Amino acid sequence: MDKIDIELYLNQIVKFFNENPKELKTLIGNCEKALFFEKIKEQCFSNLENGDDIILTKTQLIDVVRKLVITGDIITKQPIEYLEMSVEYTNFGKIYLN
């Protein structure tokens, strides 16, 4: 029964993000949404094994996005030249531009 609950929860999340694509883009950037949903599913099963609620907390959802960032699925590596251009030299010292 719990696996069915997980599938229902995932279907609700997918439906929400399909109806609100801007929200998904804001949350995961350029990452593949299928990979994002797969990571959510893995976290749900992890919660189930630990005896927790299958619904992800805000912290768990943030951790899922962080894992995607760490693996490089959202942020692409920038060339070194681009990083050097983001430094502005002034009389007061270096200013790093974001």
Q: Per-residue pLDDT averaged across 35-51, rounded? A: 92
Q: Where along the chain do its domains lie? A: 2-80
pTM (predicted TM-score): 0.67
The pLDDT assigned to 98 comes to 60
Model confidence at 3: pLDDT above 60: yes
C-alpha distances in angstroms, 45 versus 1, 5, 19, 86?
13, 11, 25, 42
The confidence band for 75, taking pLDDT boundaries of 50, 70 and 90, is: very low
The answer to whether 47 and 56 have CB atoms below 8 angstroms apart is yes
Tokens read off for 69: 């960032």
